[in-house]
Amino acid sequence: MKKDAAKQTFVKTAYLGMFLALAMIFSYVETLIPVIVSIPGIKLGLANGLILIILYLYGPRKAAVISIARVLLSALLFSGLYALMYSAAGAVLSLLVMSLFYKKENVFSSVGIGMLGGVAHNMAQIAIAFFITKTAGLVYYIPVLMVSGMLTGALTGFLSKLVIGYLKKLKATNGEA
């Protein structure tokens, strides 16, 4: 019995490590993608999609650990400490919102949860921008960020839904908890 529990812990740790590595790769790839619209701050949110997958497969605590590790490592490797404030605020609020709703599958699908997370991420970033710049004009940016958060969140939520279904089948096949 102890051997099975140790194996499951090892497998879970390996999966979470792979998710962190993928989140780092996605974060880097997003820095290479030119912004299609000339609006700063709009990204696909691919790493957020991975956090959504972890949320569904392993719960909020594991998702939080991977999200925090990704934000810290990405800031140190790709964007700098100044961007850390924006990324951390977005990641924390996004995860909080997604965590509140992911168990309510009868109300929201992973696509809806992704949309909520995308909008929350953008709203946290606009709040940080306002805090830093004290510029009231940022309020005009909110509708654009809400729409982009919904669109990118729907995309990452849909892709996450496909991956979650596949990984749940894989876990069931392998007898994992």
Q: Residue 158: give its domain's CATH number.
A: 1.10.1760.20
Q: By residue range, what is the domain housing residue 143? A: 2-174
Q: How many domains does the chain have?
A: 1
The DSSP string of 73-104 is: HHIIIII-HHHHHHHHHHHHHHHHHHHHHTT-
Residue stretches of the chain with pLDDT short of 50: none
pLDDT value of position 169:
86
pLDDT value for 54? 93
Q: Cα torsion for 121, 124, 128, 130, to the nearest 10°?
A: 120
The per-residue pLDDT for 42 is: 75
Interval 20-56: pLDDT, tens: 999 999 888 887 876 655 566 677 888 889 999 999 9
Q: What pLDDT, on the 0 to 100 scale, is given for residue 97?
A: 95
Sequence-distant (6+) residues with CB within 8 A of 20 are: 66, 69, 70
For tokens 């729907």, name the residue.
154
Give the pLDDT of residue 140.
87
